[in-house]
Amino acid sequence: MRQIIDLTVNGRPHELAIDIRESLADLLRNQLGLTSVKKGCEVGECGSCTVLLDGTAVNSCIYLALWAKGKNVLTVEGLSGPSGELNPVQQAFIEEAAVQCGFCTPGLILTGVELAGSGKVFSREELRREISGHLCRCTGYENILNALEKALRQPELKSE
Amino acid sequence: MFEVNEIYQPMDLPEALVLAKQHPQAIIIAGGTDVLIQIREGKLANRELLNIHGLSELQGIEKNEAGDLLIGPLSSFKDVEENALINRHIPILAQAASMVGGPQIRVMGTIGGNVANGVTSADTSSTLHALEAQLVLESEAAKRIIPIENYYLGPAQTARANGEILTKIIIRGVNYRGSGGCYIKYAMREAMDIATLGCAVLVSPAKDSSCISRIRIAFGVAAPVPIRTKNAEAKLSGLDIDEAGYRIASLIREEINPRDSWRASREFRLHIAGVMAERALSKAWQQALERRRAECGK
């Protein structure tokens, strides 16, 4: 059940033959090798498959690949600058030791990038709500919240 | 790979209605946050899907000249939560939508799917019961409008016939004007959880604010389908707010008939139903008075 769709992934336009039965997570991992898109629960609960779709976080494991037609997909592979510099949200995760096993990290970073792009100011309580679609079984979330607070404080992000 | 036999992909609503007629057994998929999970779990595996995701006729939220709010069923929970019309006229629905799942689910899941599924725990459904919403069901040949109360027949059983698609949710002006509302969800976690019990209260004070002129109370998970507690409503209307606050819990406990489940016992649900209704009434009343003051101030 093949179908050809156009979509943009990490800034690059693609024309891909997809199976209409496959999830966006499978398409990104299997055809494009973007293995930062993790498959944890595969039922939309853990958030480790999160990607930004036209700038908004969605769970790619319960999103049909065919729905991504014409859309702009961002994974953490698309975050780094031209010389490989890290995105400020990634840098903050390193500085605040917000990573242990790393499985939830790509998804959380993308939600962080979405929040940074919104230009809004978030209280810690609001940040908790914003990341409530991500499960982290290692850190207890404290360092993740510290990292997000740090990244979202940076003025250069706000202007983007 | 999702175990699906076929996915029909209409380009617009008329084509979707034709496909729904030709393939009456096909499962309608909108946001996918329920259907795809049930396919993954095997409950809906190896079936045909009718994909209405993204159909423009089924999106958007508007208000007509009569003051009725018309909600496109493909509006996501986030659309509902952030929509200016909803927040201005029926903030209780924005509140209910904000309590579904987590941020990603609220972007993907739709209010139409929440209702059309026929599940008692749907966060927006008890609120839509309190608002006496009407559902527009369209087939290729006909179009009918039914009260949301008549839509729910039993657990996951609904009045939607094969070949019909939910195309609009209507909230009449007379059913929200002058009211304040509050939805309270009781769940084990603050996010990504299904309601143990949900309670929506909509109250309209009398002109001089001395007593309750009209009250509607609806519950999710208090029965196999979302329900209104109309006996309690009848006994509470006309009472002053203190008296109503004093009586609401016991009236609710006399009327609902929740079940034991692994989430909570019947006794626990009976207890929290009373407490939640009392709290929701108090908040809804405050909101109604505040909204009235804001209207007068203009």
SS3 B76: strand
Q: What is the pLDDT of residue B156?
A: 84
Testing the interface with B: which of A59, A120, A122, A128 to mutate, by most B Cβ within 10 A? A59
Q: What is the pLDDT of residue B298?
A: 64
SS3 B202: strand
Buried b (16+ CB within 10 A) or exposed e, B254-280: ebbebeeeebbeeeebbebbbbbbbbb
Alpha helix positions (H), chain A = 24-26, 88-95, 105-118, 124-130, 142-153, 155-158
Q: Which of B51, B53, B190 sits opposite A132 (nearest CB)?
A: B190
- Looking at every residue in chain A, the average pLDDT score rounds to 94
Instruction: Reply yes or no on whether the pLDDT at B53 is more than 70.
Output: yes
What average pLDDT does the segment B217-242 reach?
Answer: 96
Q: Which of B37, B41, B103 sits opposite A57 (nearest CB)?
A: B103
Q: What percent of chain A has pLDDT over 70?
A: 96
Q: What is the pLDDT of residue A137?
A: 94
Interface contact A21, partner B, CB < 8 A: yes
Question: Between chains, do A133 and B192 touch, taking CB under 8 Å as contact?
Answer: yes
Report ipTM for this prediction.
0.94
CA-based torsion, A131, A48, B122, A115: positive or negative: positive
Place of tokens 């949710």: B169
Q: How far is B53 from chain A (nearest CA, A)?
A: 7
What average pLDDT does the segment B55-81 reach?
Answer: 98
Chains A & B: contacts with CB separation below 8 Å: 79
Question: Between chains, do A59 and B192 touch, taking CB under 8 Å as contact?
Answer: no
**Which chain A residues are within 8 Å of B107, Cβ to Cβ?**
56-58
Q: How many CA atoms lie within 13 A of B260 on its CB side?
A: 2
Interface contact A17, partner B, CB < 8 A: no
Instruction: Reply yes or no on whether the pLDDT at A158 is more than 50.
Output: no
* Nearest residue in B to A1, CA atom: B6
**Which chain A residues are within 8 Å of B192, Cβ to Cβ?**
45, 132-133
Identify which of A63, A101, A88 has the alpha carbon closest to the alpha carbon of residue A150. A88
Kindly state the DSSP code that residue A31 receives in the 8-state scheme: I
Testing the interface with A: which of B8, B44, B50, B104 to mutate, by most A Cβ within 10 A? B104
Reported as a single tens digit per residue, the pLDDT across B237-265 is 999 999 999 999 999 999 999 989 888 99
* Nearest residue in B to A65, CA atom: B1
Q: What is the pLDDT of residue B225?
A: 94
Single-letter amino acid code for the residue at A54: D
What is the phi/psi pair of residue A14, to 5°? -130, 150
Reported as a single tens digit per residue, the pLDDT across B186-223 is 998 888 888 999 999 999 999 999 999 999 999 999 99
**pTM confidence score:** 0.95
Instruction: Reply yes or no on whether the pLDDT at A156 is more than 80.
Output: no
| Cα B65 from chain centroid (whole Å) | 24
Q: What is the pLDDT of residue A159?
A: 44
Single-letter amino acid code for the residue at A69: K
| B-proximal residues of A, 85-144, CB under 8 Å | 111, 129-134
Determine contact, residues B147/B132, Cβ cutoff 8 Å: yes
Determine contact, residues B252/B228, Cβ cutoff 8 Å: no
Question: Between chains, do B104 and A133 touch, taking CB under 8 Å as contact?
Answer: yes
Q: End-to-end distance of chain A based on CA atoms, in angstroms?
A: 41
Reported as a single tens digit per residue, the pLDDT across A26-44 is 999 999 999 999 999 999 9
Q: How far is A64 from chain B (nearest CA, A)?
A: 8
Q: Which two tokens mark A144?
A: 């993740």
- How far is the C-alpha of A47 from the C-alpha of A36, rounded, in Å? 12
Instruction: Reply yes or no on whether the pLDDT at A126 is more than 60.
Output: yes
Q: What is the pLDDT of residue B295?
A: 83
Question: Between chains, do A132 and B4 touch, taking CB under 8 Å as contact?
Answer: no
Strands B47-51 and B27-29, how do they pair?
Answer: parallel
Reported as a single tens digit per residue, the pLDDT across B98-118 is 999 999 999 999 999 999 999
Q: Which two tokens mark A142?
A: 């404290």
**Which chain A residues are within 8 Å of B190, Cβ to Cβ?**
129, 132
